[in-house]
Amino acid sequence: MTSTTTILSQQMLNHANALLRHIAQQINRIIIGRREAVDMAVISVAAGGHLLVEDVPGTGKTMLARSLARTLGCSFKRIQLTPDLLPADVTGNSIYNPREHTFEFRPGPIAAQIVLADELNRATPRTQSALLEAMEEHQVTVDGITYALPEPFMVIATQNPIEYEGTFTLPEAQLDRFAMRITIGYPNLNDETTVLRNQRSHHPIDDIHPITDANGILAVQRIVPLIYIDPAIDTYVVQIGQATRQHDDIELGASTRALLMLIRTAQARALLAGRDYVLPDDIKALAVPVLAHRLLLSGNARMRNQTTSHVVQDVVNSINLPSGRTSRS
């Protein structure tokens, strides 16, 4: 018998949907004309995942993170990654207290609910790895002692395109921890004109006020797994994952963790749309941002200037959509 604690009521669905839509609407006031990128950020929050934003400088990557933190009413800290940054500068370290003759742990900037890791690929691989435990287990270990991080916990990392000078390619294990990789891009003429006008006298982010808090976000994250997934959708996702592993242009295909995140973000997207079930369109819309950054192209594909995004899109297009019932009814 199904426990009453696992039943998604219409009231719960409506409340969570209204909250997510309100969050997106407020952030869209700051990130003008980039509704899809904002929706992806909100979906990552609801799914309890981390977000990687890759774009050229000045397109609003940092502003997206700041706007999200203010809207959610969560604690926020920023880590400016540089080549000389050490792992302890991220996680914190133990300081000797001469009065007490003991070592006291002083947490680093990772100890916040929303952490902006700005220009992550400018840090050395050793410093990048300091984020691995935090992102996967929501804890850090310093001098053999483990410290829990606050909940909800989300890392929003920004990076410049890898061909830029002074960047280090993120290792596969690091990339696999991010739920999505998105870009923001330059606004069109009308949107950019609006940005110039809005920021002429003050920045609109100063007008943002929290519309929820940590408990509200945790409540939404508990609702997301209750969104219905038909077995046909599960099969569809597995077919996509296996196709990436068998593709001639891909050397390293999608992991099982990647497929689990694809399902979870699809549930979050359905919730944002006000549905209590996942559609194949949710999977199709999220396949590239969830899977592409986790894949490793073959040498021949790189020689042809192929991209993982194009390969994932080709894979999705080659697989038949699930037939039959994909909703609760």
Q: Which two tokens stand for residue 41?
A: 């950020």
Q: Which two tokens stand for residue 189?
A: 């003429």
Write out pLDDT tens, residues 124-141: 888 888 888 899 899 998
Q: What mean pLDDT is reported for the chain?
A: 88
pLDDT at 294 over 80: yes
Q: Mean pLDDT across the stretch 58-73? A: 88
Write out pLDDT tens, residues 264-278: 999 999 999 999 999
Helices (H), the chain: 10-28, 35-47, 61-72, 87-91, 125-128, 130-137, 172-175, 189-198, 214-223, 231-246, 256-272, 280-291, 299-303, 308-318
The gap between the terminal CA atoms of the chain, to the nearest Å, is 19
Ordered domains of the chain (ranges, CATH): 7-226 (3.40.50.300), 227-329 (1.10.8.80)
pLDDT at 199 over 50: yes
pLDDT at 163 over 60: no
Write out pLDDT tens, residues 177-192: 999 999 888 888 998 8
Looking at the DSSP assignment, which residues form a beta bridge with residue 76? 114
Which of 111, 113, 211 minimizes the C-alpha distance to 154? 113
Q: Which two tokens stand for residue 222?
A: 């508990």
Instruction: Return the number of other C-beta atoms located less than 10 Å from residue 153's C-beta.
Output: 22
Tell me what pLDDT residue 326 has: 66
Is pTM beyond 0.75? Reply is yes
Tell me what pLDDT residue 4 has: 38
d(CA 240, CA 287): 9
Phi, psi of 93 (to 5 degrees): -150, 170
Looking at the DSSP assignment, which residues form a beta bridge with residue 95? 104
Distance of CA 16 to the CA centre of its chain: 19
Q: Helix/strand/coil (H, E, C) string of 294-305?
A: HCEECHHHHHCC
Write out pLDDT tens, residues 215-254: 999 999 999 999 999 999 999 999 999 999 999 899 989 9
Tell me what pLDDT residue 148 has: 92
Residue % of the chain over a pLDDT of 70: 94
Q: Mean pLDDT across the stretch 93-121? A: 86
3-state secondary structure of 162: coil
Phi-psi region of 161 (alpha: psi -120 to 50; beta: other; left: phi over 0): beta
